[in-house]
Structure 1
Amino acid sequence: MNFQSLFYHPTAVVWAKRLFWVTLFAVFFLAFSPGADIGPDFQFADKVKHAVAFCVLALLYAWGYGNRYTRIAGWMLMVGIFIEAVQYFLPYREASVFDVFADIVGIMAGVTIYHISIEGKS
């Protein structure tokens, strides 16, 4: 069994779907909770966290639900915009268009990692 066939195994795909939803729930919880800032604190740490979160979400979505890249990018971008829209109305959170840009970078990285690693294409 090679690397690619392991990722396309039905059990692995089911787990990728489950991990996607758990990760999405965790991202929503952290995005909407007051004082839920975790991880290292340095300049642009917030943008790095956005990019990493959306990289993982895009990778898991692609793995679990298929590799239609425009669909992945569209859904993940809508999630990012939704988070920022909700944060705009939360007095203890701050919305930023630059967070959406960081999300886009993460989405592109996740799709690229999936495309190269799992599909084995360069």
Structure 2
Amino acid sequence: MHHTDQTNLWIKALILAFWAAVVAVGILSLLPVEALPSPLLNWWDKAQHALGFLVLATLGFAAFAKKTTLVAVWLAIYGMLIELAQAFTGWRYGDIMDWLSDLAGIALAMILLAVIQKYWPALFRV
């Protein structure tokens, strides 16, 4: 397998992982709280939001390396839409603080991306 074939395969895997994570977050966000699995760790709710969107943003930035701003904006809107959808479920409620925690996760991913680009630029050469 050539280098470009391996790179293309890696990018396709990242894109698939990103969209799978987006769908998983959407489904888990709209399930009744009782239907959710018990947390592995007893994390604070806002930290879970930030961590979830940190993962989404990191996957999105890796999958769509030339469109990181678009990914960040899209994820911010997605987080807002999840909170709005929760407000209409009858078993969940939308919370602006949850959305702000989502934004914090996205911002942390952007900082992480900037640090990686500064100190390990070779990771971004394709």
> TM class, shorter-chain normalised?
0.7 to 0.9
Secondary structure at the aligned position of 1:9 is classed as helix
Matched residue, 2:47: 48
Give yes or no for contact 1:30–1:37 (8 Å, CA) kept in 2.
no
Label 1:11 to 1:114 Cα distance change in 2 as closer, same or farther (>3 A). Answer: farther
* Identity in percent: 26
Please report the TM-score for the alignment, with normalisation by the length of structure 1: 0.81
In structure 1, list runs of 5 or more residues that go unmatched.
none
What are structure 2's unaligned runs of at least 5 residues? 120-126
Matched AA of 1:107: I
Q: 1 CA distance for matches of 2:58 and 2:87? A: 27
Aligned residues: 112
Cα offsets for 1:58-83 (capped at 9, x unmatched): 11111111243431221010100010
Give the 4+ runs in structure 1 shifted more than 3 A: none
Q: Report the secondary structure of 1:30's partner residue.
A: helix
Partner of 1:86: 85
**Distance in 1, Cα, partners of 2:111 & 2:13:** 20
1:20 corresponds in structure 2 to 18
Q: Distance in 2 between matches of 1:67 and 1:49?
A: 27
Select between 61-70 and 45-54 the one with higher mean Cα deviation.
61-70
Instruction: For residue 113 of structure 1, report the CA deviation from its aligned partner.
Output: 1.8
TM-score where L is the length of structure 2:
0.79
Q: Report the secondary structure of 2:42's partner residue.
A: coil
- What amino acid sits opposite 1:19 in the alignment? A
User: Within 1, Cα distance between the matches of 2:112 and 2:17?
Assistant: 17
Please give the root-mean-square deviation of Cα atoms over the aligned residues, in Å.
2.0
